[in-house]
Structure formats: C-alpha cells, structure tokens
Amino acid sequence: MRVTFPHMGRIDIPGYTFFKRLGWDVIIPPPITKKTIELGSRYAPEFACFPLKINLGNMIEALELGAEVIFMAGGHGPCRFGYYGEVEKTILKDLGYNFEFYVFEPYAGRFKKFFQPICQLFKYEKNLLKIYNAGKIAWEQGKAIDVITKSVYRIWPREEIPGTTKRLYQSAIAKIKKADSVSTIRYIVDDTLKQLGEIKIKKETPLKVALVGEIYAVLEPYMNFNLEDFLSDRGVEVTRTIYITDWAEEQLIPKKIRQKKKIGHHEESKRFACGYLDHFVGGHGIETVGTAVKYAQAGYDGVIQVLPFTCMPEIVAQSILPSISRDYEIPILTIIIDEHSGQAGLITRLEAFIDLLQWKRSKKEVC
C-alpha cells in the first residue's frame, strides 16, 4: 500500500525512512508550492488556521499521485489541531477520494481508537527488532538535522564568504537523507560540525533575534517565507526556539523517564511566562510568551513571533507580548501569515525591523 503524510519542516526525511523500513511504499507529497496552498484554501473552511489548509493541499496532491493511506498526528484539545484529522477526512471524502485515514492520538479513554492506527502502522513488519531499528534511524535523522540546523544558523550570519554555510548545510541534509545506519548519521553530524567550525567568521557580533511562535509556522520554511535564511543572509543571528525532536521528546517520553536535571521546554517556558501568562492555553501559547521573556532577559536585540491567521493560543500570546516589549524594552515583531500573505510585504517589514534593531544598538553603544 502507498502511504503518505503531510509536510512539516524537514519531517519528510525521517518520515520516509521510517515508513520505508516498515515495508510501506512511501509517497512524499510534492514540496509545498502556490498550487498546494491554492488547493488547500479552496476546499478548507475559510477561517480554519493556515496549517490545516497546507495539510489539506499536501494530502490532495499526494492522493493525486496515488497514495492510498494517510497517517497524521492528532490531539485532544484545546487547540484546533486535534480536529484537523476529522475535518480533513470529511473534506477529502466529499471530494470523492478513496483512501484510509489514520490519526495517532494520545490515549484518552478509548482503547480501540488508540491502538487501531498503531496496528495499521505495523501491518507489514512484525519483527520487533526491525521496528525498533526503523524508529531508531528515523529518530537519529531527525535529531541530526536539528543539531546541524542549530549550529548552521549561528555560523551563517557571521560567515566571511557569503554562501559557504548554506552550501555545507544543503550537502549535509542530502547526506543524512541517504544515510542508512546510526553510525553513518553520527559521523555525518560530527563531520559537518567540524567543517562548520572551520568556516572563517567575522569579528563583530551580529544582531540577535529569537524566533518564537506557533510550531508549524516556525518549522515550515515555505510558510514563513524562509525567514531564517533571509535574516541570516543579512547578518542577523536567528535563534529558533522550537525543534521538532525536542518537542517530540517532551510529548512522547514521560516526565519520570526523562533526565531529571533537564527541564523541558514547556516547564521552562512556564517559569519564564509567570506573571504574564499564568496558565497553559493550548498549542504553543505559553512557550511563545515564556521564550520571549527568556531571550529578552538574555539580552537579545529583538523577538519575532510568527503565527498562522486565527491561531487561538498565539492570539492570546500576541496580546501579551506588548507588555513584555515594554517591560524589557525589546522590539517584538508579530507576523501573521495566511494564504494571502506576500513575500514582498514581509521583506519590507523585516528590513525595517532590522534597521530598528541596528539603530537601537548603535544608540546603546554611544551612551
């Protein structure tokens, strides 16, 4: 059977490995383009959040390519993400597609609902060792991409010869994609980190900006118009606050088993957000507020929040951020993205934001 799953950042690489090793034929949806978004927003509810529309576009394109089974993740609220599966399934069924649809959800009282997708997943592969290996390699790939990405965006704005880091990054991703054992992946990571260390860098410290917001908007470069690359090219260091493997670790592994000393992203954000937002509000609302405070305290030059239009938890966060901006005297730029957003408008805003940060820093140096 041909299986597919929606895009989110670089999840296609570990996802492909995982399903392939479990004996599925994998169809990765074509990369997100204007057409994907057009398809998605034509059939999705008008006021649904943007990731749902992109997801739907991905699924339609994959079904057109012959996919028969769709896997995706779900939840139990209070954010709308938990309902994506149901809405997307209904829309695709109404469009007349024939497919099986399975949503992985946290356990919530219904035994069958929880185990059915998992049983389907391991339909072809019953050997536990092989299942373990498939998971292990996929996980290592995800982890490797995240580790490399973290260093890349630290080096990129400082590089002396423009383009060196980007080339290295792309070749590393391509290598990870092809790697088929844990040791190869680890070697690639070590090698890439070593090469990154050898890149010639400028002396002056670049402007530092923290990227916070909704997970899909932060992770998916098509959605945020390659914001990280754009800023890095202009010599601004972007610190992304959400990485898919960190998030998955926190969601999947129970607190007790995790290393005790290490505080999770959520716990940490909760502490920092105290006084601004005192309770979780679903999605990444409290993480957005918490990390904004954290990086403001760390002396960053600015914070950028990205969110899809109508995202509920981020709207709560958005209405709190101005207070943080005022209290810490840190500029915060909120970018709301939907299917009508254009790159030119965003670039103008980002350039103005960079100018503001530069001016602010030069003023500080004079004083």
Query: Which backbone phi and psi does 299 adopt, to 5 degrees?
Result: 85, 25
Q: Does 222 bind another protein (CB under 8 A)?
A: no
Q: Does 85 bind another protein (CB under 8 A)?
A: yes
Closer to another protein by Cβ: residue 148 or 321: 321
Which listed residue (182, 312, 341, 361) binds another protein by CB under 8 A? 312
Q: Which helix or strand (DSSP H or E) is residue 101 part of?
A: strand 100-104
In angstroms, what is the C-alpha Rg of the chain?
21
Q: Does 340 bind another protein (CB under 8 A)?
A: no
Minimum CB distance to another protein, residue 156 (Å): 32
Closer to another protein by Cβ: residue 224 or 232: 224
Structure tokens at 135: 């998971």
Structure tokens at 60: 């339609």
DSSP secondary-structure letter at 35?
A: H
Minimum CB distance to another protein, residue 338 (Å): 10
CA 210 to chain centre: 14
Under rule CB under 8 A, how many of the chain's residues touch another protein? 45
Closer to another protein by Cβ: residue 109 or 299: 109
Q: From residue 42 to residue 81, what is the string marking binding to another protein with x (rule CB under 8 A)?
A: --xxxxxx--------------------------xxxxx-
Which listed residue (64, 86, 160, 267) binds another protein by CB under 8 A? 86
Closer to another protein by Cβ: residue 234 or 326: 326
With CA atoms as reference, report the closest residue to 357 among 203, 202, 205, 209: 209
Give the integer Cα–Cα distance in Å for 89 and 355.
45
With CA atoms as reference, report the closest residue to 192 among 210, 175, 213: 175
Find out whether 324 and 297 touch, Cβ atoms under 8 Å: no
- Residues 268 to 297 in contact with another protein, rule: CB under 8 A: 276-283, 285
Q: Does 116 bind another protein (CB under 8 A)?
A: no
Tokens 């890095």 belong to 232
Which listed residue (33, 38, 66, 90) binds another protein by CB under 8 A? 90
Closer to another protein by Cβ: residue 228 or 314: 314
Cis link prior to 45 (omega < 30° from 0)? Answer: no
Q: Does 318 bind another protein (CB under 8 A)?
A: yes
CA 280 to chain centre: 20
Q: Does 323 bind another protein (CB under 8 A)?
A: yes
Minimum CB distance to another protein, residue 253 (Å): 21
Angle between helices 12-21 and 128-155 (to 10 degrees): 170
Minimum CB distance to another protein, residue 92 (Å): 11
Minimum CB distance to another protein, residue 315 (Å): 5
CA 149 to chain centre: 12
H helices, E strands: number in the chain: 15, 8
DSSP secondary-structure letter at 65?
A: T
Q: Does 313 bind another protein (CB under 8 A)?
A: yes
- AA identity, residue 168: L
**Which positions touch another protein (CB under 8 A)?**
44-49, 76-80, 82-83, 85-87, 90-91, 94, 108-110, 276-283, 285, 309-313, 315-320, 322-323, 336
